[in-house]
Amino acid sequence: MILKQLKLNGIEAAVIAFIICALAAVSAFTTTTVKYISLPENGTHLFNAVYNYVFNGQITFFTQIVALILILAEALLVTAMNTNHELTRAKNIFFLFVYIILSLSYIPLNTFLPEQIANIFITLGFVKILSSHGLDKAEFHFFDAGLLFGVSALFCTSAMIMLLIGLIAFINYRPYKFNEFAVYIIGFFTPFFIYLSIFYLIEGNLTAIEEFYRAKFTASLNLNIKENELISFISYALMIFLASVFIMQEYRKYNLFSTRTYRMFFIMFACILILVMTPYFGLQSLRLMTMPLTMLYVTVFYNFKQTVFSEVFFTVFLLVHVGIQGIWYAMP
């Protein structure tokens, strides 16, 4: 009856959610699992400089604490976005629980990643996009969204995909207007202009940044997926497929705003999946999917009628996203 308790949002739900999330978070600290966690792969020149200065370029106890704090911050922002725009009536505990479980599920990603910083600014950017719906003039919303997406890309190279996703999202909500798209693009590149200007004033050249991006996009990553990772991804894929089937059955019942929003989340999911398949970005880019996947699962679970099947499906979700961590504990 875990799903029922989470829907009721009572003290029992809070206790259950806390215990399960705490157990999942342990994987970020045990010596058994930490050896499977890799250093950040998609950090920009700025992120890597900060990471090396603060953490000496290593995974430490403090990087794991920062990672957990950022996961909570991400979850709170997604919850606030839903509250402001009423995409679903699910309670806050439910949102926090699903987001944290999704974030901690895949043990190799349980460390401080540039995608976490990106997720915070991406969510804030989506708030601006959602707020533009129905407005006659939305230039300021376009600029703010572009600025926030640009900041996310300033720390995370894989977040560059948000330039495209943002443009598609605005088309999804509004008729095309050149001036709105222009200010969006200006907003996106403004953080880069500021950073490059400051860097040039300090260093006198941009050679280090040029060499960084040249190395990033000329090197080819080899995605060697191991057996335990393959089991994980197949399990995740089946869960996403089933949740997608269920939400499509309810799709016609949504209003125009909700329909466009869930379409936007699917587009974001698809774009990130394609990004991961390129030879330039590793599996860590999957962390950018957490927000759209949270919206998918929360909507499906909350809209389920309280039946034995709904409890079984939710239990399977927990077994996949929490129980599958046992694979890494069982490995030699």
Three-class DSSP labels, 8-44: HCCHHHHHHHHHHHHHHHHHHCCHHHHCCCCCCCCEC
Instruction: List, for residues 86-96, the tens digit of each pLDDT value.
Output: 788 777 888 88
pLDDT at 332: 62
Q: Average pLDDT over the chain, rounded to whole?
A: 86
Question: What per-residue confidence (pLDDT) applies to 277?
Answer: 84
Residue 290 exposed, middle or buried by CB count within 10 Å (0-12, 13-18, 19+): buried
Could you give the dihedral angle defined by the CA atoms of residues 226, 231, 233 and 238, in that order, rounded to the nearest 10 degrees? Answer: 160
pLDDT in tens, 24-83: 888 888 888 888 888 998 999 999 999 999 998 899 999 999 999 999 999 999 998 888
Q: What pLDDT score does 220 carry?
A: 65
The mean per-residue pLDDT over the stretch 133-146 comes to 82
- Residue 44 and residue 114 in contact, taking contact as beta carbons nearer than 8 Å: yes
How confident is the model over 158-169, as pLDDT tens digits? 999 999 998 888
**Which DSSP category does 156 fall into?**
B
**What single DSSP character describes residue 226?**
-
DSSP 160: G
Q: What is the DSSP string of 275-332?
A: HHHSTTS-GGGGGGGHHHHHHHHHHHHHHS-SSHHHHHHHHHHHHHHTGGGHHHHH--
Mean pLDDT (whole number) for 234-248: 87
What integer pLDDT is reported at residue 227 of this predicted model? 75
**pLDDT class for 211, splitting at 50, 70, 90?**
confident
DSSP conformation class of 90: -
